[in-house]
Amino acid sequence: MKILHLISSGGMYGAEAVILNLLRTLQEGPHRSLLGVFLNSPHPNTQLYEAATAAGIECHTIACKGRIDRSVLERIRGLVRRVDADVVHAHGYKADIYAYLALREWDTSLISTCHNWIDTDIPSRIYGAIDRRVLRNYGGIVAVSEEVKARLLKAGVAEHKVRCIRNGIDLRPFNRKSAERQRANRPMVVGLASRLAHEKGADLFLEMVGGVLTELPTTQFAIAGDGPDRPMLEALIRKMGIGTSVRLLGHCEDMPGFYASLDLLVSSSRTEGLPIGLLEAMASRLPIVATAVGAVPSVVRDGLTGVLVAASDVGSLTGAVLQLLHDEGLRRQFGEAGRILIAQEFSAERMTAEYLQLYQQVVDKDTRLADLQVDNATTNPTQGPAPNC
């Protein structure tokens, strides 16, 4: 089976990590996986393209001028024709909409993964609404959490088309020695791995930093990731006077090394799907303090692999971080339990097996439908040929 993944990527974030894990694991089996990345002018982003190419994945770019570019439709058709894809797997509203418009009359099976919708402004709400309407016509839709699934059903997507498949990761890179075992009388380090955008709550993380430093003034904090909120966060760090304690690392090429430098990871999101950063941190045996949003409680299990707090509750977030910084034994206990949980329930192999099952079901269904249409056209020639689906 040949699966072509399409995405309009803004950088190496959670959705991109999921796609890269899926591409790699599919490629290790009998199937062929390919990647198509939209080159959006005037700000094309090729990080995922470069990472996938380095992993030996066949990659293609799709030029796209502005928000609406009708020529993209023919480019998608040309790419699907050249690679002879059995399945086109779209990720994100732009890929969803363009793939549907380009291929709605073709017999190529359409799949989409809904990683999350961030409806924080009017354009996002409009695109999200269009996306959910388009998805009604897809053969199969993957929701990364029950919350995302509920939004799809509310938007009118048929329940039999929607399947929850939890994100998974390749555990192999995340097996370095933890910071605790490398410690040489150095301060403890608390980290955040996230896109710097309002929904991820990096500003809440910084408010927590102020509270922790009041009690443990030598603690250090590191934030891996980039995004539109970076200037605001830099200004907040200056205003709070915590510049000597907080490092904004930007995009980090060596995430396993980042996790290995930490004692504790925090997720302060206001809204979430299933963040890859949490899975990677837990695979690295890090204890977690996280806000209980989206699918986070399915992986950060309160009192077992970390501590959950209410969204936007900076006081509880601060208290939980202090509790774990004071208790090395509890950090170790949560970290080991987290690694076991990720290995058992959130591996890339498990995720890929579930996707392959969905691909096969949708392809088989589309093939049966196409055969039925051919039979009907043969039996009733006066009705003319049936359109492709």
Map out the domains of the chain as residue ranges: 2-168+348-383, 179-345
Q: Which strand (E) or helix (H) includes residue 247?
A: strand 246-250
Q: At 150, list the tokens.
A: 């509920």
* Cα separation, 164 vs 46, whole angstroms: 29
Tell me what pLDDT residue 128 has. 82
* Cα separation, 282 vs 168, whole angstroms: 12
Q: Is 8 helix (H, G, I), strand (E, B) or coil?
A: coil
Tell me what pLDDT residue 177 has. 63
* Cα separation, 274 vs 299, whole angstroms: 8
* Cα separation, 354 vs 375, whole angstroms: 32
State the CATH class of domain 2-168+348-383.
alpha beta
| CB-based contact 293:313 (threshold 8 Å) | no
Tell me what pLDDT residue 126 has. 85
* Cα separation, 79 vs 4, whole angstroms: 9
pTM of the model: 0.81
Count the residues in the chain: 389
Matching residue, tokens 């949490």 = 278
Q: Is 106 left (phi over 0), alpha (psi -120 to 50) or beta?
A: beta
Helix axes of 314-325 and 202-215: crossing angle, nearest 10 degrees? 50
Tell me what pLDDT residue 12 has. 87
**248-292 confidence digits (pLDDT tens):** 999 998 999 999 999 999 999 999 888 899 999 999 999 999 999
* Cα separation, 217 vs 36, whole angstroms: 47
Residue 262: name the closest of 325, 173, 201, 199 by CA: 325
Architecture of domain 179-345: 3-Layer(aba) Sandwich (3.40)
Tell me what pLDDT residue 386 has. 39
Residue 20: name the closest of 348, 248, 373 by CA: 348
Q: Is 59 helix (H, G, I), strand (E, B) or coil?
A: strand
179-345 and 2-168+348-383 share a CATH fold:
yes
Residues 6+ apart with CB under 8 A from 31: 1, 2, 3, 356
Low-confidence residues of the chain, pLDDT below 50? 181, 383-389
Tell me what pLDDT residue 29 has. 84
| CB-based contact 108:389 (threshold 8 Å) | no
Q: At 36, list the tokens.
A: 């198509």
Tell me what pLDDT residue 119 has. 66
Give Cα 182 to chain centroid, integer Å. Answer: 30
